[in-house]
Amino acid sequence: MDLEGLSTRLQDHMDLGFGQRGAVERSYSFLAYVRYHQDRPKEAASLLSQSEEKTRECFGEESERRLIVIYGDLAWLSYHTGDFTQSDKYWRRVEDILEKYPTGSTVLHPEVYGEKAWTYLKFSKLYYPKAISCFLKALELQPDDSEWNAGYAIALYRTEPWEKETSLKAEDCPVVKQLRRASEINPADGVMLALLALKLSFYQKHEEAESLMERALEIGPDCPHVTRYAAKYLRQQDQVDRSIDLLKRALQRSSQSAFIHHQLALCYKTKKIALVNIKPYNKKEMQRWRRLAIHHLEEAVRLKPSFVIAMGELALLYAEDKDMSRAEEMFQALEMSSEKDESNRPFVHFYYGQFHQYHTKKEDLAIKHYTKGLLLTPEASEGKRCATKLKQIAERRVSKDADDDEALGLLGLVYRAEGDRRRAVEYYEKALACDPDKDEYLSAVFELRMEL
Instruction: Tell me what the pLDDT averaged over the chain comes to.
Output: 91
How far apart, in whole angstroms, are the C-alpha atoms of residue 336 and residue 30? 26
Q: Which of 339, 336, 289, 331 is nearest to 314 (CA)?
A: 331
Residue 166 confidence (pLDDT) above 60: no
82 or 172, higher pLDDT: 82
Angle between helices 224-236 and 258-276 (to 10 degrees): 20
Contact in structure between 262 and 299 (CB atoms under 8 Å) = no
pLDDT at 406 over 60: yes
Specify the pLDDT at position 381: 81
* Whole-number pLDDT of residue 378: 87
Residues 418-425 have a mean pLDDT of 94
Q: Which pLDDT value is given to residue 376?
A: 92
Confidence of residue 162 (pLDDT cuts 50, 70, 90): low
18: confidence class by pLDDT, cuts 50, 70, 90: low
The DSSP letter of residue 378 is: T
The pLDDT assigned to 177 comes to 96
Above 90 in pLDDT, residue 222?
A: no
Give per-residue pLDDT as tens, 296-346.
999 999 988 888 999 999 999 999 999 999 999 999 999 888 887 788 899
The 10s digit of each residue's pLDDT in 356-397 is 999 999 999 999 999 999 999 888 888 899 999 999 999 999
Report the sign of the C-alpha dihedral through residues 148, 149, 155, 158, in that order: negative
First to last CA, the chain: 45
Which pLDDT tens digit goes with each residue over 127-156? Answer: 999 999 999 999 999 999 999 999 999 999
Binned at pLDDT 50, 70 and 90, residue 165 comes out as very low
Average pLDDT over residues 240-256: 90
Type of residue at 104: G
Q: Identify the residue with better confidence: 170 or 447.
A: 447
The pLDDT score that the predictor gives to residue 46 is 97
Percentage of the chain lying above the pLDDT 70 cut: 97
pLDDT tens-digit map of 28-44: 999 999 999 999 999 99
**33 class by beta-carbon count within 10 Å (0-12 exposed, 13-18 middle, 19+ buried):** buried
Q: Determine the pLDDT at residue 186.
A: 95
Res. 164: pLDDT tops 70? no
Q: What is the pLDDT of residue 86?
A: 97
Most confident listed range (103-112, 117-126, 138-147): 138-147
pLDDT of residue 416: 95
Q: What integer pLDDT is reported at residue 167 of this predicted model?
A: 59
Rounded Cα–Cα distance for residues 278 and 271 (Å)? 11
Percent of the chain with pLDDT over 90: 75
